[in-house]
Amino acid sequence: MSTDKTSTPLGKADPAAADDAPAPAPAAVTAVDPRLLVREQGFAGYLSEFKRKMRAGDLGSIPVVIGLIVIWAIFQGLNSNFLSAGNLSNIAVSMVATGMMAVGIIFVLLLGEIDLSVGSVSGVSGAIVAVLSVTNGINEWLAIVAAIVGGALIGVIHGFFFARIGAPAFAVTLSGLLFWQGFMLQLLGSNGTINLDSDGLVGQLTTYYFSDVAAAYGLAVVAVAAFFLSSFTDSRRREAAGVPSRPLSEIVLRTALLAVLAFAAAATFNQYKGLPLAVLLFLLVLVASDFVLRRTAYGRKVFALGGSVEASRRAGINVTAVRISVFAIAGTFAAVGGLFWASKIAAANQSAAPATC
């Protein structure tokens, strides 16, 4: 093996090596490796890059897209109502509960850890709201705040056991899963279910729609404009600083793609009842968490911990604090997801642990 490895490059690269040997001194000015393949600018570059990746087996998100298309085709074949505006709109709203929990889990996954407890924590959150607002008649806003803070505290507890005590996250959150499920049953009492007022604050989370047509289209316009402006100003700044930037044509192309998607979605929502409040909140959460993860020092720390704990520690990152905070975020989003779930089924009951059952 070792002889094989040394002999092939030698035989092949010998003339090149001889050429290279004196080269580094004069070539030292350029900081670019000659082997780097520079992608062609613009659309043609995208296409050739895409083809190359496909051939190399680097499929990226293509399998997901194909999977979605297949699923849609099958369900549309079984029931012609599947792709109707009403159904798509309903699916979008139903998605929000699990989507919120998924956002929290993403933070944990970026650390290279796992949180198995989100389902149970979301159940606890629904139970807290129901017990406080329905059974004890406390203001619904306060109940919601209590549920979310409760989720965050649960996350801190998990994080403490993981980061401070040093128990594996798998074990901590698995026991969390069991414990918080029991805690939820305890909260709900002997009936095991508490119905929520579907016109109440929690109920409105998934039932409120901005029926004005302008709302969905307005959101699409704002999103597209914000995307274009931020890409454009970023590109201008990069150009001014002399670092590689996206050409204007590429920005326009990306904006156009986003615009098509955004307006198609807006049109679909408007065909039914308008822009759902739940979807609007979910989109805001998505944008905010993406911003935190990719544009702030905190997000960089989360990524760094997922890459190498030791390197992060040597770089002066407070490993324990970041770990605990990430579990707190997961707990918070689990609680938020639990609110949407409770809103969807208009009750807090034993089934309200979607991710576990």
Partner 1 sequence: MSATPVLALRGVSKRFGAVQALTDVELEVHAGEVVALVGDNGAGKSTLVKTIAGVHPIDDGVIEWEGSAVQISKPHDAQNLGIATVYQDLALCDNIDVVGNLYLGRELRRRGVLDEVEMERRARELLTTLSIRIPSVRIPIASLSGGQRQTVAIARSMLGEPKLVILDEPTAALGVEQTAQVLDLVERLRDRGHAVILISHNMADVKAVADKVAVLRLGRNNGVFDVASTSQEEIISAITGATDNAVTRRAARNAEVQK
In the complex, least distance from residue 47 CB atom to partner 1, rounded to whole angstroms: 21
User: Closer CB to partner 1, residue 28 or residue 165?
Assistant: 28
- Between the alpha carbon of residue 96 and those of residues 101, 261, 322, 334, 340, the distances in Å are 9, 19, 26, 11, 7
Alpha-carbon gap, residue 283 to 223, rounded angstroms: 10
Closest CA to 325 of 179, 168, 100, 163: 163
Chain residues 34-73 in contact with partner 1, contact rule CB under 8 A? 35-36
Cβ atoms within 10 Å of 98's Cβ, excluding its own: 18
Nearer to partner 1, 114 or 149 (CB): 114
Range in contact with partner 1 (rule: CB under 8 A) among 21-29, 134-142, 247-255, 269-277: 21-29
Q: How far is the CB of 60 from partner 1 (least distance, A)?
A: 15
- What's the Cα-to-Cα distance from 340 to each of 19, 130, 277, 347, rounded to whole Å? 66, 13, 11, 11
Instruction: Work out whether 78 is an interface residue with partner 1 (CB under 8 A).
Output: no
Question: Could you give the string, one character per residue 233-262, with x where binding to partner 1 holds by CB under 8 A and - elsewhere?
Answer: -x--xx--xxxx------------------
Choose the stretch contacting partner 1; rule: CB under 8 A; options: 261-269, 289-297, 320-328, 334-342: 289-297
Sole window of 71-79, 268-276, 308-316, 332-340 interacting with partner 1 (rule: CB under 8 A): 308-316
Of 273, 267, 276, 300, the residue nearest 110 (C-alpha): 300
Supply the minimum distance, in Å, between the C-beta of residue 165 and partner 1: 24
Q: Which stretch binds partner 1 (CB under 8 A): 56-64, 83-91, 120-128, 291-299?
A: 291-299
Distance in Å from the first CA to the final CA of the chain? 51
Binding flag, residue 24, partner 1 (CB under 8 A): yes
Nearest to partner 1 of 165, 310 (CB atom): 310
- Which of 2, 11, 15, 30 is the binder for partner 1 (CB under 8 A)? 30
Q: Side chain identity at 53, as an amino acid letter? A: K
Q: Does 295 bind partner 1 (CB under 8 A)?
A: yes
Judged by CB under 8 A, does residue 26 bind partner 1?
A: no
Cβ 265 to partner 1 shortest distance, Å = 28
- How far apart CA 330 and CA 106 sit, in angstroms, is 8
Q: How far is the CB of 28 from partner 1 (least distance, A)?
A: 4
Q: Which is nearer to partner 1, 12 or 238 (CB)?
A: 238
Structure tokens at 301: 């720390």
Q: Is residue 108 near partner 1 by the rule CB under 8 A?
A: no
- Is residue 148 within the footprint of partner 1 (CB under 8 A)? no
CA distances 291 to 39, 140, 299, 322, Å, are: 27, 30, 8, 17
> Using the rule CB under 8 A, is 307 a contact of partner 1?
yes
Q: Which of 316, 333, 309, 292 shows the shortest CA–CA distance to 111?
A: 309
Binding site for partner 1 (CB under 8 A): 24, 28-33, 35-36, 234, 237-238, 241-244, 295-297, 300, 303-304, 306-308, 310-312, 314-317
